[in-house]
Homo-oligomer: A and B are copies of this chain.
Amino acid sequence: MEFSEYFPVWDAMTPQQQEAVSAGLVSRTVKKGTLLHGGGRECTGLLLVQSGQLRAFILSSEGREITIYRLFDRDICLFSASCIMRSIQFDIAVTAEKDTQLWIIPAEVYKRIMEQSAAVANYTNEIMASRFSEVMWLMEQVMWNSMDRRVAGFLLQEASIEGTDRLHITHDSIAAHLGTHREVVTRMLRYFQSEGMVKLARSAVELTDRAKLEALGG
């Protein structure tokens, strides 16, 4: 598949702009677990996912993590190119959650085109608004929802992404998604197991009563 088919405002760009993007474009294939953007002030570029799955998260000074959003096929990550806008004053880190094929659009190329083109600037606006909506959803979860609801919701979301009720995931990794401690997750999963909602195995969680989980986390 061509980049132009993945980039929704391709046709709105001038031939010169298309040329500049094509010339700067980097295509990468990365293994699951690869750190694509380190969470510092570096300007890696915009990441456009061809296939695979990325995870954007923030880190506390003590090394705790929380997932901010995830990116799937055709999604684009703006905040790995925070230098395109003066007002982006925060840092995220991005890793590959699955083997991923992606394109990297250099920040300075994108910035120049965005400044010229209303279509590209408005496309950027829509991407940012969409991530903003995800972060506001997360804020509401963190503020108003108890941890049992958040763990239940996370398990259901994972099952839907993976297309299976048997999840290969560690308690550590669930904790890093939700911004909590492993012990909290372990305690919660044991409680879920005692209620018949899940079955725990080594590095795996099986959803055994979806209806009950949905009543809690949906």
Contact = CB atoms under 8 A, between A and B. Distances in A.
A138 to B, nearest CB: 7
Interface stretch (A43-51, A110-118, A185-193): A110-118
B135 A132 contact: yes
A87 interface: yes
Q: Which of A88, A117, A143 has the most CB of B within 10 A?
A: A143
Interface in A109-148: 114-118, 121-122, 124-133, 135-140, 142-144
Dominant secondary structure at the A interface: helix
Contact of A61 (B131, B138, B144): B144
A152 to B, nearest CB: 18
B124 A58 contact: no
Nearest to A132: B132
Residue of A66, A88, A126 contacting most chain B CB atoms (<10 Å): A88
A83 to B, nearest CB: 11
A179 B88 CA distance: 24
Copies of this chain in its oligomeric complex: 2
A60 interface: yes
A87 B126 contact: yes
Interface magnitude class on chain A: 35 or more
A109 to B, nearest CB: 16
A184 interface: no
A79 to B, nearest CB: 9
A114 B125 CA distance: 10
Interface of A: 58, 60-62, 64, 66, 68, 85-90, 114-118, 121-122, 124-133, 135-140, 142-144, 179
17 contacts: A58-B140, A85-B126, A85-B129, A87-B127, A87-B129, A87-B133, A88-B129, A90-B132, A115-B118, A117-B118, A121-B122, A131-B132, A132-B135, A135-B139, A138-B139, A142-B142, A143-B179
